[in-house]
Structure 1
Amino acid sequence: MQIGIDQLAFYTPNTYLDLVDLANARGEEPDKYRIGIGQSEQAVIPVTQDAVTLAANAAIKVVDQSNRDKIAMVLFGTESGIDNSKSAAIYLKRLLDLPDNIRALEIKQACYGATAGVQFAADYVRLHPDKQVLVIGADIARYGLHTPGEVTQGGGAVAMIISAAPRLLNLDDETAFRSEDIMDFWRPLYRSEALVDGRFSENVYIDFFKAVWLDYQNQTNRTIADFTAFAFHLPFTKMGLKGLRAILPEATETQQERLKANFEASRQYNRQVGNLYTGSLYLSLRSLFDNAALKPGQRIGLFSYGSGAEGEFFSGTISDQFKAQKSRQWFKTFFSNRKRLDVAQYERVFSQTLPQHDVYLDTSYDDARFVLTGVQHDQRQYLDRDQHKVTE
């Protein structure tokens, strides 16, 4: 029985910052960002969007009447949670009008949370092949204005349906993982922006990738020749390229060209969105599905990394049901129609945060279906515009 990713959708708001504008404002050469970091644009997240609304706006694309009653769990990977006790998945479950006989949990380990959700979901579906699991990766990446990490900000959400007989990717059983207590990136409870040791974090990322890749090879006896493409966690797209380069010498020249071309396909969307934290790997996978010439049966390698640190290498084969995806046109239209903010506008949006008291937010400029309308009695208020009702 084959288990894997049946659907994979994405959402981010329609406002963005061109990183050439940011480079000029910060006195940097634009190529430092476009080539050195590998980023062109980044999503700018308004205060009317949080991890819950981002997730809802992505998930509504993969949840409908055809599968609503089949979903047995919601697993919400995030490091941008809105409550120290209550799971973001509980809010999402209500916004999506999912049934009550369901598990709804939040998973946290930096950018690794969604991958933990995928693996837990796959194990569940193997035992319950008539059920599905909704897995979310939703985050807002914040490092602060005028900081070294500013160029790697962004945000958005991916939503995946894990099922039997998937239409996108059949997950292999073998997986290799590693965890160590490392202070390369962290965000204490009292901070809204993350702290990061950038160079150290890059080195740990590469070390973890090489370690889990070797472990995976030892488990499976597969080599780089067995893979059509690799998808990476992309806090910035140059990071994934560094990971790929670490193993390219294992491939023939022809194989290297194929892998490099498919990596370029896999980072197109991330270049224009920025850092998604838990969703970054899966936006890259969506970009690979949409922009590479893939065929059923081809094997894809996936590297997930969460600072602090947890890494995992796993793989899957393209489903026999895989076909050209409509989402490629959706992304093309979306990127063409986004609103470009200048640096002053971006800084104003970035600086708008929820106060530590009740507030009503103006949502008139936010075109999303699900929005955060404010806080009342210390409870976040969410609006589903299609239902014309507020959900607390």
Structure 2
Amino acid sequence: MNIGIDKIGFYTPDQYVDMEKLAEIRGVDPAKYTIGIGQEKMAVAPLHEDAVSMGANAALSILDGEDREKIDLVLFGTESGVDHSKSGAVWVHHLTGIQENACSFELKQACYGATAGIKMAMGHIALNPDSKVLVIGADIAKYGLNTTGEPTQGAGAVAMVLSSDPHIFALDNDSAALTKDISDFWRPLYSDFAFVDGKYSNESYLSFLKAVWGVYKEKTQRDLKDFEALCFHLPYTKMAKKAILTLTEEANEEDAERLMSHYQNSIVYNKQVGNVYTGALYLSLLSLLEQGPELKEGSRIGLFSYGSGAVGEFFSGVVQADYKHYINKENNESLLNTRRELTTDEYEAISEKALPKDGSNIEINNDQVVEGRAYLAAIQDNLRKYAIK
């Protein structure tokens, strides 16, 4: 039985900062942002959008009536949780109208959370072949103004419906994983912003990649020649280029050129959004499928998931026949192309806004919300109130 991604959707806030203009304001050579880390635009979340609302909006872009009746498990991967107890999955379950006899919960391990959800979904469907599972990766990457991490911020969500006999991408049970207790990136409970040792984190990412790739090759007897393309977790898009160069150090020219060619298609969306943490790998996969030439049925794509702290995993899947008919390229391009560019002053004003932490009530202005989208409407009596406009 094939198990994998039957539908995949994406959402990002409708406003962004141009990275060249931000670099100029910060007194940095724009090439450091556009070439050095490979980013063109950075999505900025307004106060009425958080991981829950973005996850719900990503899901609403793909779910139909049959999905709502057959989904019996909702898995929400995030490191931008909004409650220490209640999971974002429960709110998403409600906002998307999924039938009530479903189990819903949240998963956390830095940027690995959505991959953990996918692995759990595969096991659930193997035991319950007629069920469907909604897996979401939604996050807001925040490091603060004028910090070294500022140009690697972003916001967005990817939602996937997993099922048996998927239309888009069948996943293989062929993974290799690694866990080590390291401190390359973290966010204490008391902090709104993440802390990162950038150089160490990059080194750890590549070290984990080499380690799990070595184990994967030994377990499966596959090599680079067996992969049409590779997709990676993207804290910034240049990271994938570093990853490919690491894996192809001793590869033949044909394999290296093929993988690097597909890399360009796999970063189109991420370049325009920034880091979406748990959703970054799957946004890259979506970009590859929508922005690249149609891949032959059975083409194998390798996936590397990395969550700081740290967990890494390499696994793979194969594209399905006519998968292009089951993705929403026009919808996703429209979502990105109709956003509003923020001035630096607007961006900084939005970045400095925060929800109250003292239990105060707040009604949140929803003038910017497009009809049919979920948003955070208020906090009343210490409860978050979500709505769909």
Question: Deviation per CA, 1:202-236, whole angstroms, max 9, x where unpaired?
Answer: 00000000101111000000010000000000010
Task: State the alpha-carbon separation in 1 of the partners of residues 87 and 146 from structure 2.
Answer: 32
Q: Is structure 2 residue 385 aligned with structure 1 residue 381?
A: yes
Q: Is structure 2 residue 5 aligned with structure 1 residue 5?
A: yes
CA contact 2:168–2:326 (8 Å) conserved in 1: no
Aligned-partner residue type, residue 381 of structure 1? K
Task: State the alpha-carbon separation in 2 of the partners of residues 214 and 327 from structure 1.
Answer: 35
Task: State the alpha-carbon separation in 2 of the partners of residues 345 and 31 from structure 1.
Answer: 23
Task: State the alpha-carbon separation in 2 of the partners of residues 311 and 246 from structure 1.
Answer: 16
Q: Is structure 2 residue 354 aligned with structure 1 residue 350?
A: no
Partner of residue 303, structure 2: 302
Q: Is structure 2 residue 371 aligned with structure 1 residue 370?
A: no
Q: Is structure 2 residue 176 aligned with structure 1 residue 176?
A: yes
CA contact 2:7–2:326 (8 Å) conserved in 1: no
Mapping for residues 127-206 of structure 1, pairs under 5 Å: 127-206=127-206
CA contact 2:167–2:326 (8 Å) conserved in 1: no
Task: State the alpha-carbon separation in 2 of the partners of residues 249 and 143 from structure 1.
Answer: 33
Partner of residue 285, structure 1: 285
State the shift of 1:326 in Å: 5.2
Task: State the alpha-carbon separation in 2 of the partners of residues 207 and 348 from structure 1.
Answer: 38
Distance 1:78 1:12, change over 3 A: same
Partner of residue 333, structure 1: 334
Question: Deviation per CA, 1:51-79, whole angstroms, max 9, x where unpaired?
Answer: 11000100012222022111010000000
Partner of residue 319, structure 1: 320
Distance 1:371 1:104, change over 3 A: same
CA contact 1:290–1:325 (8 Å) conserved in 2: no
Distance 1:325 1:261, change over 3 A: farther
Percent identity reads 48
Task: State the alpha-carbon separation in 1 of the partners of residues 247 and 35 from structure 2.
Answer: 21
TM-score, normalised by the number of residues in structure 2: 0.97
Question: Deviation per CA, 1:305-330, whole angstroms, max 9, x where unpaired?
Answer: 00000000000011124235652222
Task: State the alpha-carbon separation in 1 of the partners of residues 25 and 41 from structure 2.
Answer: 14
SS at structure 2 position matched to 1:204 = helix
State the shift of 1:360 in Å: 0.7
Aligned-partner residue type, residue 203 of structure 2? N
Task: State the alpha-carbon separation in 2 of the partners of residues 91 and 242 from structure 1.
Answer: 38
Structure 1 spans left out of the alignment, 5+ residues: 386-392
TM-score, normalised by the number of residues in structure 1: 0.96
Mapping for residues 222-301 of structure 1, pairs under 5 Å: 222-293=222-293, 294-301=295-302
Aligned-partner residue type, residue 143 of structure 1? Y
Task: State the alpha-carbon separation in 1 of the partners of residues 275 and 131 from structure 2.
Answer: 31
Partner of residue 208, structure 2: 208
Question: Deviation per CA, 1:210-266, whole angstroms, max 9, x where unpaired?
Answer: 101111000000010000000000010011111111011343212211111101100
